[in-house]
Amino acid sequence: DQQVKQNSPSLSVQEGRISILNCDYTNSMFDYFLWYKKYPAEGPTFLISISSIKDKNEDGRFTVFLNKSAKHLSLHIVPSQPGDSAVYFCAASAGRSGNTGKLIFGQGTTLQVKP
């Protein structure tokens, strides 16, 4: 039962353009969403998060949008840079609803930014 899905295994964009990574979830108890970036042979690095009480959170080049009615979130990176090339994981938690806070991860999307 895949509660968090990233349906695009890979994405390729040109440097300077916008990268949009998508994530869908099924569990309405999720109340906290995160995006992580991962390079090979390293641990996931936290990028940005959003609480379910918001619909947008911005941090520099990264913006996360949450559409609760559609159970969909997206990560926008603009402008994209070659150093952004990595695997991006969407994760969700129901921790603030009184559960244990464990993260449920999507399968990941490999982003390639071409110079």
Which residues in this chain contact other proteins in the complex, by CB under 8 A? 31-32, 34, 36, 41-46, 49, 89, 91, 93, 95-96, 98-108
Please, which residue, 9 or 16, has the CB nearer to other proteins? 9
Q: Report, in Å, the least distance between residue 12 CB and other proteins.
A: 19
| 10-14 vs 19-25, strand pairing mode | unpaired
Q: Report, in Å, the least distance between residue 58 CB and other proteins.
A: 16
- Structure tokens given for 66: 């949450």
Please, which residue, 14 or 27, has the CB nearer to other proteins? 27
What is the torsion angle, in degrees rounded to the nearest 10, for the CA atoms of residue 48, residue 59, residue 71 and residue 91? -10
What is the torsion angle, in degrees rounded to the nearest 10, for the CA atoms of residue 10, residue 12, residue 13 and residue 18? 0
Q: Report, in Å, the least distance between residue 39 CB and other proteins.
A: 10
